[in-house]
Structure 1
Amino acid sequence: MSALSHLNKYFYKYKSRFIIGVTITIVAQIFTLYTPKLVGDSIRTLEQIDALHKETVIKLLGQNIFWILVTTLIAGFLTFLMRQTLIVMSRHIEFDLKNEVFKHYEILTQSFYKQNRTGDLMNRISEDVGKVRQYAGPAVMYSINTLIRFAVVLTQMYLISPQLTFYSLLPLPLLGYFIFKLSRQINERSSIFQANLSQLSSFTQEIFSGIRVIKAYAIEGEKQEDFKKLTQESKEKNLKLAKTGSLIGPLMIFLIGLSNLVVISIGAIMYFNGQIPDIGIIAQFILYINMLTWPVASLGWVSTMIQEAEASQKRINEFLDIKPEIYNTAKEHTPIDGKIEFQNVSFTYDDTGIKALDNVSFTLEKGETLAILGKTGSGKSTILSLIARLYDIEDGKILIDNNPIKDCHLNDLRQSIAFVPQDAFLFSDTISNNIRFGKEDATEQEIIEVAKKAAVHENIISFDKGYNTVLGERGLTLSGGQKQRVSIARALIKESPILILDDSLSAVDTETEENILKSLEKHSKNITTLIVTHRISSAKNADKIIILENGKVIENGTHEELIAKEGYYNELHQKQLSEKELL
């Protein structure tokens, strides 16, 4: 149970609930002791029926029945309170653990998300946390209940007859052995099943995300077969786990029944030998043994829950133990003004070994615009990722306002950047809320203003519900160009000192592009802007332009300076002019 020790901090956090729950359990178990004693007294009363008056016997039996009812009701009510205390505690722990996992997911770096699938991440924060909750709630509650009941009942049994207590508990060592063996199998099979469930979740998540591609290629049948294979494998693994768990219950009942037989047979011999005074004691012992039936039977269930929770918590800890490669090194907040400088920066991606940048240098003053051009894979998007410190460099320096980027407060740095990614991502929410994502307290008027600047206002108001139109997953309701423009509006409303556009005008026509660029020019007078693009039209008005090839800067200057050179930029300019004339 080493993995589950991670939860100890939560048990300490909710220690008052835990202590109250344990106290209520102890009191409840004390009240349950009265029933066997009262039943034994009732049998003794019936044994004396010849010596006592009929009215006396009826009166004594009536009193015993009354107190049996009272003590049972009190014990039942206290058991209800115990569940309310301990199970509610487990829900609080579940809430905290989910938030801990989610918060850790948020700080993990890009490389982590490249190496792990979304379905697996979702499974660990949902299914695995749910299994752990079973340990923190029912498993802990029934374990405490079992321990206390055993302590209370066995103490009472020992006080009545130590010898009969010894014989009645003889099957228990055998029970412990079987539980140990079965628990190990459950742990192994639970780990395998949860890993398979993650694989199944990842597969279905990818299928639903790429359903348009699947339909376009008419491969629904093939994917259905793949899904059948995965679900068949999942079913087989689950059945193996269920078969192992199902052995525990019958085994418990058998051993309890064996204990009852021992009590009856040994108790009868002891009664005839005069070692116990009356048959009522045998009845008491049978009731005591049966009071242990559910706790002992629950041992198997609890053992299964603990083993499954151990396997799940181990999977959760695998991610929680991962230390983010990028972390905040600044103790104090650092306001960002907008100056950016690269000094001989080189960068290689660890996961692929590809050298994306090689000795790149440039300086961008506050309020200036830099356009970055180059072929696919030349390192354009890498520069933008490094400015947002999504990766750390190994060679060279990146300065923000003349300070090394690592000395900047990480949250302040990223808050100061309004980013429009190449692949525009929109949430399954209203258009209004998607734009407001850049500024939570934005008014409707502010939203409309930035939508106009992004040349998407007319498109939005043409929808039946306008800005209240709810988008499909990843913004499927909109076209590629509309998604890009909504993303631009979201970035503009943030009003950050640094604006980054990563080829975010590629899906719009040239006329719309020109309108957006004019709006951006007015909007970004005091904003440092970086534009990654393949179009000369997006770059020509920039203060500075750099051309990348294989991670190196092969050309730099203004539009006029680069046109005057017989290089890549001039060739691209002539080519795009020819294409425009043909259109």
Structure 2
Amino acid sequence: MSQTTDILGPGPERPLAPRSSGGLAARAGQALFGASPAGWLMPILRPYSARLSLLLLLGLIAACIGLVPPYLSKLVIDQGLMAGNIDALVFWSGTLFAVGLFAVGFGALNNILHMRASVRMLADLRRTLLDALIARPPQWYGAQRAGELLARIDGDAGEVQQFAFNSVLGGLSSIVRLIGGTAMLLVLNWKLGLAAAVLAPIELAFLIWARPRTERLAGTARSARGRLTAGLSETLHGMPALQLARGTDWARGRTVMDQGALNERLMIQQGWTEFIRAVPQVLSALLRAGIFIAGGIMVIQGHWPLGSLIAFVAYMGFMIGPMQSLLGIWHAQARARVALRRLDALMTTGPCQTDSVAAACPDAFDLRLEGVSFGPDRTHPFGPVDADIRHGTKLLLTGPSGAGKTSLLMLVLGQQRPISGRVLVGGVDVGSLAKNTSAGIFAMVSQRPIIVQATLRENLFLDDSLVNSPDADDKVWAMLDALDLGDRFRSAEGLDTVLGENGLTLSGGERQRICLARALLSPFHILVLDEALSEVDTARVSAIMAFIDREFAGLTRIVTTHASVESYGAFDQVLELSGAARCR
């Protein structure tokens, strides 16, 4: 079995989803999807068991209905046409039409219910994957490509959902049609029926031989698609910068190369797919031709009714078609398992932080750094850093570029772990805090503001307590006025002003101040400003910091800046990072 290259890091450290325990369903899931993917996929499928059962019942009924028309055709020919009986001809023809009309309506209902359940299951699968990504710490994303992650959530999730949903329904329906068709063949002519059944082991042996290559080609095509999507995402996201840097030709060349590599792999995969599809079809055509010759001789010699031969050939389709469908599902599983391995890397690889972490909630918010060493290079770490920061302190974190200021802030926020030492808030290790607890303690604004294509109101991500208050809009406008943004948006569409993706419709300073407003409107005890006003002019910085110092004087404020420190006002404490950290 081939292995796809994975950019998501080394093997599992801690699962992000509960693992299913024993039982028939669990064992079936492990057989279909693999032990690790089944652990998080089966809980997604389990709520749909009732709907799947209903759809399964409807599919079985539809399969049984589908077995009727060939036999009715036999009666039309043998009891109507060949017997010269007009009454029988009209009756059986009318019955055939009625059954066909019922089958059309029943099939339409089944398809609508199937689509409704299918799209909901896909939405649940993607929501689970997104939750897994949300649980990743910031440093994890440094090694990822957004387009590759998008390809997994989009294409791989669709492949898995389609197999997980359709394989059960289509597989069992095919089994019913296969059993029913085979039984009718034996009823019509058991000798020819046994001859037709010989086709099954031949096709099975061929597909067993072909399956490993199917899985290998699916893996290479998935990887090539991920590279193309990742490259396009990077190009579109950085297009303004690429245009200014004259990098568009390079970006175009990379896209053409990635697309060419994908096209080559898709053509190879399609050629192989057509080959493994053609072989069973050729074998089926040979069998059908042999049945027509042998059965035709029997009809000519008067040993077999013509209607029976026509019905026999039709029921051969009920045997051959479902048999090929089942073998096709088996090959689809090979492709689905490739996609599952790629998704399993999202669900199980690397450290994570989940709300299930049990930790004491601090009742005080003094910060203490005890011998903290940190950084990407464990052999030459930053630190050690020791500091006591009383709640309500305004702290300047300073040092040259590359001294580890942002990395130390990630430790304070609990989004990274130190190499050695501890970071405590109120005596509790920040690394042990549950995500929802730390979100209520810290608010952070970074140098790179995050703006989504949505309204200003939505971009502020208002806290529920503020949204539900009767004067929510008044509080928001007061904050915007304090940050010198009120007039800018009153002249537009107010809080319903739509902001472009990544804030491209805004200046750099406006993006930073919107993110600052978002942080200040949320509940917090410790505010972290990491170069948060680097694109705001000095006069505005002074006014904004004076506002923060006045309105949030009782809360801790941690600031890093390469700009004029004087514009930030007076600081209670300075923590300097330069070789060995000093706190004064």
**Amino acid of the residue matched to residue 66 of structure 2?**
T
Q: Distance in 2 between matches of 1:334 and 1:88?
A: 43
Other-structure match for 1:233: 261
Other-structure match for 2:229: 201
User: Are residue 456 (structure 1) and residue 485 (structure 2) matched?
Assistant: yes
Given that 2:231 and 2:254 are in contact with CA atoms closer than 8 Å, whether structure 1 keeps it comes out as no
**Amino acid of the residue matched to residue 119 of structure 1?**
G
Given that 2:449 and 2:511 are in contact with CA atoms closer than 8 Å, whether structure 1 keeps it comes out as yes
Q: Distance in 2 between matches of 1:465 and 1:165?
A: 74
The Cα offsets for residues 488-521 of structure 1, whole Å up to 9 and x where unpaired, read as 2111111411111112122222211211121011
Summarize the Cα distance change of 1:193–1:520 in structure 2 as closer, same or farther, 3 Å threshold.
same
Given that 1:94 and 1:133 are in contact with CA atoms closer than 8 Å, whether structure 2 keeps it comes out as yes
Q: Distance in 2 between matches of 1:549 and 1:249?
A: 67
**Amino acid of the residue matched to residue 68 of structure 2?**
Y
User: Are residue 171 (structure 1) and residue 196 (structure 2) matched?
Assistant: no
**Amino acid of the residue matched to residue 578 of structure 2?**
E
User: Are residue 542 (structure 1) and residue 571 (structure 2) matched?
Assistant: yes
The Cα offsets for residues 448-467 of structure 1, whole Å up to 9 and x where unpaired, read as 21123223334444x53344
Secondary structure, counterpart of 2:498 in structure 1: coil
Other-structure match for 1:112: 140
Summarize the Cα distance change of 1:259–1:79 in structure 2 as closer, same or farther, 3 Å threshold.
farther
Q: Distance in 1 between matches of 2:73 and 2:295?
A: 17
User: Are residue 28 (structure 1) and residue 56 (structure 2) matched?
Assistant: no
Q: Distance in 1 between matches of 2:408 and 2:42?
A: 44
The Cα offsets for residues 116-156 of structure 1, whole Å up to 9 and x where unpaired, read as 11111111001111112221344443322221100111122
**Amino acid of the residue matched to residue 421 of structure 2?**
G
Given that 1:498 and 1:528 are in contact with CA atoms closer than 8 Å, whether structure 2 keeps it comes out as yes
Secondary structure, counterpart of 1:506 in structure 2: coil
Other-structure match for 2:26: none
Given that 1:371 and 1:545 are in contact with CA atoms closer than 8 Å, whether structure 2 keeps it comes out as yes
Moved more, 521-530 or 32-41: 32-41
Other-structure match for 2:386: 361
Other-structure match for 1:569: none
Other-structure match for 1:123: 151
Q: Distance in 2 between matches of 1:10 and 1:489?
A: 37
Secondary structure, counterpart of 1:508 in structure 2: coil
Other-structure match for 2:77: 43
**Amino acid of the residue matched to residue 481 of structure 2?**
K
User: Are residue 213 (structure 1) and residue 241 (structure 2) matched?
Assistant: yes
What does residue range 62-81 of structure 1 map to in structure 2 within 5 Å? Answer: 62-81=90-109
Given that 1:460 and 1:466 are in contact with CA atoms closer than 8 Å, whether structure 2 keeps it comes out as yes
Other-structure match for 1:561: none
Q: Distance in 2 between matches of 1:407 and 1:500?
A: 19
**Amino acid of the residue matched to residue 343 of structure 2?**
I
Other-structure match for 1:420: 445
Other-structure match for 1:12: 46
Secondary structure, counterpart of 2:397 in structure 1: strand
Q: Percent identity?
A: 20
Summarize the Cα distance change of 1:278–1:423 in structure 2 as closer, same or farther, 3 Å threshold.
closer
TM-score if structure 2 supplies the norm length?
0.86
Q: Distance in 2 between matches of 1:58 and 1:469?
A: 75
Other-structure match for 1:397: 422
Q: Following TM superposition, by how much is the alpha carbon of 1:2 offset from its aligned partner in structure 2, in angstroms?
A: 3.6
Secondary structure, counterpart of 1:247 in structure 2: helix
Q: Following TM superposition, by how much is the alpha carbon of 1:375 offset from its aligned partner in structure 2, in angstroms?
A: 0.7
Summarize the Cα distance change of 1:296–1:371 in structure 2 as closer, same or farther, 3 Å threshold.
same
User: Are residue 382 (structure 1) and residue 410 (structure 2) matched?
Assistant: no
Moved more, 115-124 or 392-401: 392-401
Secondary structure, counterpart of 2:62 in structure 1: helix
Picking from 273, 279, 290, the partner of 1:251 is 279
Other-structure match for 2:317: 290
Other-structure match for 1:82: 110
Secondary structure, counterpart of 1:464 in structure 2: coil
The Cα offsets for residues 411-442 of structure 1, whole Å up to 9 and x where unpaired, read as 21222211111222222223333234466617
Other-structure match for 2:344: 317
Moved more, 38-47 or 478-487: 38-47
Summarize the Cα distance change of 1:214–1:282 in structure 2 as closer, same or farther, 3 Å threshold.
same
User: Are residue 261 (structure 1) and residue 286 (structure 2) matched?
Assistant: no
Secondary structure, counterpart of 1:344 in structure 2: strand
Moved more, 171-180 or 125-134: 171-180
Summarize the Cα distance change of 1:215–1:272 in structure 2 as closer, same or farther, 3 Å threshold.
closer
Summarize the Cα distance change of 1:354–1:93 in structure 2 as closer, same or farther, 3 Å threshold.
farther
Q: Following TM superposition, by how much is the alpha carbon of 1:61 offset from its aligned partner in structure 2, in angstroms?
A: 1.3
Moved more, 388-397 or 450-459: 450-459
Q: Distance in 2 between matches of 1:12 and 1:212?
A: 46
Summarize the Cα distance change of 1:106–1:330 in structure 2 as closer, same or farther, 3 Å threshold.
closer
Q: Distance in 1 between matches of 2:432 and 2:340?
A: 36
Q: Following TM superposition, by how much is the alpha carbon of 1:305 offset from its aligned partner in structure 2, in angstroms?
A: 3.8
Q: Following TM superposition, by how much is the alpha carbon of 1:360 offset from its aligned partner in structure 2, in angstroms?
A: 1.1
Other-structure match for 1:572: none
**Amino acid of the residue matched to residue 129 of structure 1?**
A
Given that 1:336 and 1:416 are in contact with CA atoms closer than 8 Å, whether structure 2 keeps it comes out as no
Summarize the Cα distance change of 1:506–1:271 in structure 2 as closer, same or farther, 3 Å threshold.
closer
In structure 1, the gaps of 5 or more residues are 558-583
Given that 1:119 and 1:203 are in contact with CA atoms closer than 8 Å, whether structure 2 keeps it comes out as yes
Q: Distance in 1 between matches of 2:458 and 2:545?
A: 24
Q: Distance in 1 between matches of 2:357 and 2:306?
A: 78
Summarize the Cα distance change of 1:359–1:128 in structure 2 as closer, same or farther, 3 Å threshold.
same
Q: Following TM superposition, by how much is the alpha carbon of 1:32 offset from its aligned partner in structure 2, in angstroms?
A: 2.6
**Amino acid of the residue matched to residue 287 of structure 1?**
A
Summarize the Cα distance change of 1:124–1:173 in structure 2 as closer, same or farther, 3 Å threshold.
same
Choose between structure 1 and 2 for higher RCO, CA contacts under 8 A separated by at least 6 residues: 2
Q: Distance in 1 between matches of 2:108 and 2:164?
A: 17
Summarize the Cα distance change of 1:465–1:310 in structure 2 as closer, same or farther, 3 Å threshold.
same
Moved more, 394-403 or 510-519: 394-403
Q: Distance in 2 between matches of 1:330 and 1:40?
A: 68
Moved more, 515-524 or 164-173: 164-173
Q: Following TM superposition, by how much is the alpha carbon of 1:82 offset from its aligned partner in structure 2, in angstroms?
A: 3.3
TM-score if structure 1 supplies the norm length?
0.86
What does residue range 342-361 of structure 1 map to in structure 2 within 5 Å? Answer: 342-349=369-376, 352-353=377-378, 355=380, 357-361=382-386
Other-structure match for 2:209: 181
Given that 1:87 and 1:138 are in contact with CA atoms closer than 8 Å, whether structure 2 keeps it comes out as no
Given that 1:419 and 1:491 are in contact with CA atoms closer than 8 Å, whether structure 2 keeps it comes out as yes
Q: Distance in 2 between matches of 1:19 and 1:327?
A: 33
The Cα offsets for residues 321-349 of structure 1, whole Å up to 9 and x where unpaired, read as 22424456753662554211112211232
Q: Following TM superposition, by how much is the alpha carbon of 1:204 offset from its aligned partner in structure 2, in angstroms?
A: 0.9
**Amino acid of the residue matched to residue 65 of structure 2?**
F
Secondary structure, counterpart of 1:222 in structure 2: helix
